[in-house]
Amino acid sequence: MKYKRILLKLSGEALMGDNQYGIDAGRIEQYAREIRLIKDEGIEIAIVIGGGNIYRGVDAERTGIDRVQGDYMGMLATVINAMALQSILEKNGMYTRLMSGIKMEQVCEPFIKRKAVRHLEKGRIVIFGAGIGNPYFTTDSTASLRAIEMQADVVLKGTRVDGVYTADPEKNADATKYTTLSFQEAYEKGLKIMDMTAFTLCQENDLPIIVFNMNKSGNLLSIVKGEEVGTLIK
Ligand code: UDP
C-alpha cells in the first residue's frame, strides 16, 4: 500500500446524494463500503466531514443571524453528519471514534491529539466532528490541520468530480483534468482545490492532496494502492 495513514475529507453536500437537503441513505452506505475496502487493507483512517448539506456559516447573515453564531451552527451540523457516518460505519463492521472540536460529552470525545493518534494505531476509524472548533474556518482547513497533527501521508478530498480540471467540467465540455499539479501551479492558475487556509497549511507542511471522485466505486482503494486516480497536488 502506498499510503498507510490517510485523512479523508468528505463534504456535507456530497451526503445529500440527489436530494436538496439532509443525508441520503444510499450515498452514506456507499461511502461506508468504500471505506471498508481500505480498512480491510489495514489502512489507518481519519475522516473529516463537512456540514454543507445542513448549514453553512456564510448563509447566516442572509437570515439576520450573526456570522459567528452561524459558524457554530455549521460546526454543529458537521457533528450530525459525523454521528450518521459513525453509525453506518459501525453497522458495516468497523470500529470508530468520534472526536469533536466542541465538547459534547454525551455523544463524542473531545479532540485530544494523542488520543486520536492512539485510536488510529489501534485500528479505529477516527471521525473529526465540529471542525476545528473555531468560527471563520472550514472543514477543509480542519482536514489539513488534523492530517498534519495525525501525521497522515495524504489528504484525500472526495468530491463528485474526477479531479481538478482546467475549468468546471460540469459547465464546460472542453475542460481537461490535471493528473498532477504542484502547489505553486495550482495557486498561479487560481484553481480552487481547497480554501486558501487549508491549501497553505498543506503546502507549508509538504502534505500532498488528492482530489478524486468518491462516488466511483473502488477509487478510494485504488488511490491507497498508489494507482493514478484523480489529481495529485504536491
Ligand atoms: N465551520 C467553522 N469552523 C470550522 C469548521 C466549520 O466555523 O472549523 C462552519 C462553517 O460555518 C462552515 C460550516 O461549519 O460553513 C460547515 O462546514 P463546511 O462548509 O466546510 O462543510 P462542507 O462544505 O464540506 O459541506
10-residue mean pLDDT profile of the chain (234 residues): values are 98 93 96 98 98 93 94 98 98 98 97 98 98 97 98 97 92 94 96 95 98 97 98 98
For residue 115, the SS3 value is helix
- Ligand 1 pocket residue status of 129, Cβ below 6 Å: no
Name the closest-CA residue to atom 13, ligand 1: 74
- Ligand 1 pocket residue status of 11, Cβ below 6 Å: yes
Fold of 5-233: Carbamate kinase (3.40.1160)
Domain locations along the chain: 5-233
- Ligand 1 pocket residue status of 57, Cβ below 6 Å: yes
Query: Quick one: pLDDT at residue 170?
Result: 84
Instruction: List, for residues 191-231, the tens digit of each pLDDT value.
Output: 989 999 999 999 999 999 999 999 999 999 999 999 999 99
Query: Quick one: pLDDT at residue 86?
Result: 98
Chain length of the chain: 234
Q: Mutation test of ligand 1: which of 139, 194, 201 has the most ligand atoms closer than 8 Å to its C-beta? A: 139
Show the cell assigned to 207: 502534505
Q: Are 50 and 139 in contact (CB under 8 A)?
A: yes
Whether the model clears a pTM of 0.85, i.e. scores above it, the answer is yes
Other CB atoms within 10 Å distance of the CB of residue 73: 18
